[in-house]
Amino acid sequence: MDFSLTPDQEAFRERVRTWLQLNIPGQWVRRAMGSSEVPRPEAYEFLRDWQRKLWEVGFVGLTWPKEYGGQGLSFVEEMILHQEMALLKAPSILNILGVGMAGPTIIAYGTEAQKKRYPAKILSAEEIWCQGYSEPNAGSDLASLQTRAVKDGDAWVINGQKVWTSLAHLADWMMLLARTDSDAPKHKGITYFLLDMKLPGVTVKPLKQLTGDAEFNEVFFDNVRVPESQVLGGVNNGWQVGLTTLMYERLALGFGLQVRLRIALDGLVEMARHVEKSGRPTTNDPILRQKLAQLWIETESLKYTGARAITKLLRGELPGPEASAGKMVWVDVHQRLQELAMEIEGPYSQLVAGSERAIENGLWQYSFLRSRANSIEGGTTEIQKNIIGERVLGLPKG
């Protein structure tokens, strides 16, 4: 067991820190994301520029091979980068689904032409990606998806609908799962496509969420013709390719979300120092101290669970179903953190952005509401528990 870094890694940490100190734009928090993970509309252009700057100095795509635009570094450097970004409260990137999911999956399964074409533009935020998995009748039971792709000459013709598609209104490309063989068992007849969102027949309709934002969308496909060169990982192999994406997604959660959680917790402690309850700072209230300390402990625990997962990767093992546990814990801790923010604010928790009486301009009200989605998006908590039960513990399927 060893947490020490090599001299190169120490130097990398120093380089990241120095660069961030010089380059993080002042007052970005108000304009950008607060403690949410998904970019808010008013921050899109700002975050695109920010990601481009990070990419230009080589701080995006650390673990990707150099020939595809990455840096050829290890997950340790990736971890260092995220830690430093958290410590200095740096903004996240815009193309989170591209960098976290599409790129790694293309590098793992793509043809040489695909690997040359897509990953570099993902890193530079030149092309934004969204994920076309969920459908109105296929959420947790993803494999029953009904969007259909039918072969016609050298193209596939897509018809159907996706839903809850984050960033689709911005996206240039979609990771699309569609049914290519309706006679095969449901997991065997799915193909993974790299879909150009500008093709004729693609319609994006914003979907307003309970936060009032429209961060995700419905996407309709009406006879969309996709060239066969856009299949990733082989026809009818989409389920396996799609699962790889999800494993990388949960792994990316392990790196990125733990530190976002820490930023949110630091922010919450800071807020708690300035809010009074019964005439004293809430940080002096024994019950709230217990709750804050508990969140601190669980946030640290996620960090070390993440370190154990990284160790497995460094030893050459694949990201496994254990990542489901990390996702589930993160969700639980983050939702309780947001609940606690409301508890600390007390009656002020009712006031939102727009009221000058609102604490921190209503930042926490937004993130509290947004956090309800955490246990649904990226696989519901119930599905994560099924995965843990069946694939980690080996319990029989229901």
Partner 1 sequence: MGGHIGPPIQTTMDFGFNDEQELLRSTARKFLENECTSEFVRKRMAEPAGVTDEFWSKMAEQGWLGLVFPEAYGGSELGFVDLAVLMEEMGRAVMPGPFVSTVLLGGLTVLEAGSPAQKDAWLPKIAGGRAKAALAWTEPSGRWDAAGVTTTAKPAPGGWALSGTKLFVLDAHLADVLVVVARSAETKQPDEGISLMLVPRATPGLEVRLLPTMDQTRKLCEVTLNDVRVEAAAVLGSVGGGWAPLARVVERATVALCAEMCGGAQRVLDMTVDYAKIRVAFGRPIGSYQGVKHKAADMLVDVENAKSLTYYAAWAMDENVPEAALAASMAKACCSDAYRKVAAAGIQLHGGIGFTWEHDLHLYFKRAKSSEFTFGDATYHRERVAQLINL
Paired residues of 135 in beta bridges: 138
Residue 182 main-chain phi, psi, to 5 deg: -85, -5
Residue 113 engages partner 1 in binding (rule: CB under 8 A)? no
Nearer to partner 1, 176 or 325 (CB): 325
The minimum distance between CB 298 and partner 1, in angstroms, equals 7
The single residue among 95, 165, 244, 349 that binds partner 1, judged by CB under 8 A, is: 244
Q: Which of these segments, 63-71, 186-194, 345-353, 367-375, binds partner 1 (CB under 8 A)? A: 63-71
Q: Which of these segments, 68-76, 135-143, 336-344, 363-371, binds partner 1 (CB under 8 A)? A: 68-76
- Give the span between the Cα atoms of 50 and 25, in whole angstroms: 9
Residue 393 engages partner 1 in binding (rule: CB under 8 A)? yes
- Label residue 74 exposed, middle or buried (CB < 10 Å: 0-12, 13-18, 19+): middle
- Give the span between the Cα atoms of 264 and 320, in whole angstroms: 27
Residue 163 engages partner 1 in binding (rule: CB under 8 A)? no
The minimum distance between CB 292 and partner 1, in angstroms, equals 6
Task: Please say whether the beta carbons of 128 and 167 come within 8 A.
Answer: yes
The single residue among 11, 57, 214, 297 that binds partner 1, judged by CB under 8 A, is: 297
Residue 286 engages partner 1 in binding (rule: CB under 8 A)? yes
C-alpha count within 13 angstroms, C-beta hemisphere, residue 71: 20
162 residue type, one letter:
K
Residue 344 engages partner 1 in binding (rule: CB under 8 A)? no
The single residue among 36, 180, 305, 338 that binds partner 1, judged by CB under 8 A, is: 305
Active-site residue 37, yes or no? no
Q: Are β-strands 276-277 and 129-132 bridged in parallel, bridged antiparallel, or unpaired?
A: unpaired
Residue 304 engages partner 1 in binding (rule: CB under 8 A)? yes
- Give the span between the Cα atoms of 148 and 5, in whole angstroms: 49
Residue 211 engages partner 1 in binding (rule: CB under 8 A)? no
Paired residues of 217 in beta bridges: 165, 206
Nearer to partner 1, 57 or 314 (CB): 314
Residue 235 engages partner 1 in binding (rule: CB under 8 A)? no
Residue 283 engages partner 1 in binding (rule: CB under 8 A)? yes
Q: Which of these segments, 17-25, 30-38, 185-193, 315-323, binds partner 1 (CB under 8 A)? A: 315-323
Residue 112 engages partner 1 in binding (rule: CB under 8 A)? no
Closest by CA to 261, choosing from 332, 185, 183, 309, is: 332
- Give the span between the Cα atoms of 265 and 283, in whole angstroms: 13
22 residue type, one letter:
L
- Give the span between the Cα atoms of 325 and 381, in whole angstroms: 9
The residue from 249, 298, 322, 345 that is catalytic is 249
Nearer to partner 1, 4 or 278 (CB): 4
- Give the span between the Cα atoms of 244 and 318, in whole angstroms: 10
Closest by CA to 218, choosing from 168, 145, 147, is: 168
Tokens of 241: 């390719």
Residue 11 engages partner 1 in binding (rule: CB under 8 A)? no
The minimum distance between CB 17 and partner 1, in angstroms, equals 18
Nearer to partner 1, 137 or 290 (CB): 290
H or E stretch at 342: helix 323-345
Closest by CA to 221, choosing from 166, 154, 168, 144, is: 168
H or E stretch at 329: helix 323-345
The single residue among 198, 280, 315, 357 that binds partner 1, judged by CB under 8 A, is: 315
The minimum distance between CB 235 and partner 1, in angstroms, equals 15
| Residues designated as active site | 249
Q: Footprint of partner 1 on this chain (CB under 8 A)?
A: 1-6, 9, 63-65, 72-76, 104-105, 107-109, 233, 240-241, 244, 269, 283, 286, 289-290, 292-294, 296-298, 300-302, 304-305, 307-308, 310-316, 318, 322, 325, 328-329, 382, 384-386, 388-390, 392-398
